[in-house]
Amino acid sequence: AAAGLPGGPLRRYLETSPPGPDTPLADLPLLAVDVETTGFDPRRDRLLSVGFVPVDGDRIVLAGAGGTVVRGDGPGDDDGVGQSAVLHGLTDDALATGRSGAEALDAVLDALTGRVLLAHFTQMETGFLGELCTRLHGVTVPFVVVDTLELHHRLLTGGPDMGFSTDPSPGELRLWAARERYGLPVYRAHDAVVDALACAELYLAQIRELGDRGVATLGALTRR
């Protein structure tokens, strides 16, 4: 797929090997990513904004943080943000001054090259970014992911580390409930960069706890 593309962030991303499963967590490069959208279905709903924050091992790199609102330039985008504005606060006027979907995708892929995508419920991020890439370039982009929601579920239920299972409620699995478990501060929700930072902070707390259970590599972290 990369060979048929012009030079640019997508080709560089596809040509760069991601971290392997034996990568120690102390050396693991990740990019915490968050998207704000009009709904949950990438095929019907609209990407409104994206934010990201790099994580190098156990260090959050605020200097590399970035984000943008995304103006409507795809099928159905003329319908506006509708009632979703109540959640994310993004208006049609604000989005009209944003970057194009292509520019937003380039920014994310450039920052994500050589890194693992980190998010809370990664299906949202991979779904919307993947759909955007397919629409713009006709390419299915692969992602290596670490999902803090899955890690939170693993820590609550014991998972493969403890050998027992309970069933947490959906509310217990939300990002802000997961952060509360570690006494992390409450931030304003539904700002993509802030939510990416919140996810990065949660990840650092989680890997410290998982490290006490012997989890030390990417492969062990994502094992189910």
In three-state form (DSSP H/G/I as H, E/B as E, the rest C), the secondary structure along 80-148 is CCHHHHHHHCCCHHHHHCCECHHHHHHHHHHHHCCCEEEECCHHHHHHHHHHHHHHHHCCCCCCCEEEH
For residues 146-172, give the mean pLDDT: 78
Choice between 191 and 74, residue whose per-residue pLDDT is larger: 191
Please name the amino acid found at residue 184: L
- Helix (H) or strand (E) holding 36, with range, is strand 29-37
Tokens of 36: 């704000």
Residue 72's pLDDT is 72
Residue 163's pLDDT is 46
Residue 158's pLDDT is 77
Nearest to 52 by CA among 15, 106, 10, 16: 106
pLDDT of 160 above 80:
no
Residue 203's pLDDT is 98
Residue 224's pLDDT is 72
Highest mean pLDDT among 88-102, 149-163, 205-219: 205-219
pTM: 0.89
Choice between 92 and 68, residue whose per-residue pLDDT is larger: 68
Q: Which residue has the tokens 């890439």?
A: 133
For residues 49-65, give the mean pLDDT: 97
Lowest mean pLDDT among 44-48, 50-54, 93-97, 142-146: 93-97
For residues 127-137, give the mean pLDDT: 96
Residue 91's pLDDT is 56
Residue 95's pLDDT is 73
Residue 93's pLDDT is 64
pLDDT in tens, 106-117: 999 999 999 999
pLDDT of 75 above 60:
no
Q: Which residue has the tokens 């999902």?
A: 147
Distance of CA 67 to the CA centre of its chain: 12
Residue 85's pLDDT is 46
Residue 150's pLDDT is 95
Q: Give, in order, the Cα–Cα distances in Å from 102 to each of 3, 21, 28, 128.
A: 19, 30, 28, 13
Residue 90's pLDDT is 63
For residues 149-154, give the mean pLDDT: 94
pLDDT of 86 above 50:
no
